[in-house]
Amino acid sequence: MFIELQTVAGKIMINSKSNIPHYGGQALIEGVLMRGKKYVVAAMRQPDNEIHLVFDELQGIYKSGLSKIPFLRGLIVLWDSLSLGMKYLTISANTQAGEDEKIEGPALFVTLTISILLSIGIFFVLPTIFVEMISRLLPLNPLTMNMVEGLIRLGIFVLYIWAIGFSKDISRVFAYHGAEHKTINAFEEGVEINVSNVSSFPLAHPRCGTSFLLTLVIFSILLFTLFGPLPLLIKIITRILLVPILAMLAYEIIRFMGDHLDNPIVKVLTSPNLLLQKLTTREPSEEMVEVAISSFNKLLQLENIT
């Protein structure tokens, strides 16, 4: 792979669009996380308005052969979201908090555990229980039950994202999410990475985690249907245990569609994913874009793309 680069006024410009590496990221509290093949970098706007950078070299499973094996690499993405994402969200929250308000130690462990259990309960267990109650009142075949369950799961997901978007703090996180997308879009188009250019790019990106979650929900309808009628307890257990399988399938589909966006069929299939991102992104300010660029430029520097 060869990418010709130039440095212009400290910014990075890519002159070749072929075979560019896939980078991704995540919005933080007043910051942006960028993840590459070897490093992860977080840039955060401190209360004093300075941009603080934190970075780590990816270790362990990220360097193993598993990260390159189709389907298994989807588990890396799931682990990435649960571990790296939580770690840097906590760092960004503590950056904004005073010394006496930091979340760490046992309090952090309890908070993360409760958050994960609530997520599983709300998005996987609750729809299953609700459909089971409906099936006792109305005669539903297994396929219909799973379709209704999937639609309820999707409805809860969309409603949750829509509702939290009204929070001022979450709205700012969504704006940083938009800044992350714009930066990645600019990089993949091969333009000079500066605030003016990046700000002109769209908010949506086909490899977004929002698309991943929507695809996961859709696949859950198909996969759960294969098991047919089951007792409620067994059904709940299978829903939870099959989350990794769903993650593997969803990741490969998102990756494939992201690499074939010129195909008209793929464009149609990705349109719901891109539409849903209107709920999880906001137009960022120039200061937010500057934070995203700082994180991304540092990542490129660490990975020797400069």
Residue 81 has pLDDT above 90, yes or no: no
Mean pLDDT computed over 74-81: 74
Ordered by start, the domain boundaries in the chain are: 5-302
**C-beta pairs of 93-102 under 8 Å, 24+ apart in sequence:** 93/29, 95/29, 95/30, 95/31, 95/44, 95/46, 95/52, 96/29, 96/30, 96/44, 96/46, 96/47
Closest CA to 34 of 20, 51, 53, 47: 53
Written as one string, the DSSP assignment of 98-127 is -GGG---HHHHHHHHHHHHHHHHIIIIIHH
Q: pLDDT digit string (tens) for 166-203?
A: 999 999 999 999 999 999 999 989 899 999 999 999 99
Mean pLDDT computed over 265-273: 84
CB 12 within 8 A of CB 303: no
> Rounded to the nearest 10 degrees, how much is the dihedral formed by the CA atoms of 81, 277, 254, 63?
-30
Beta bridge partners of 12: 7
CB 15 within 8 A of CB 192: no
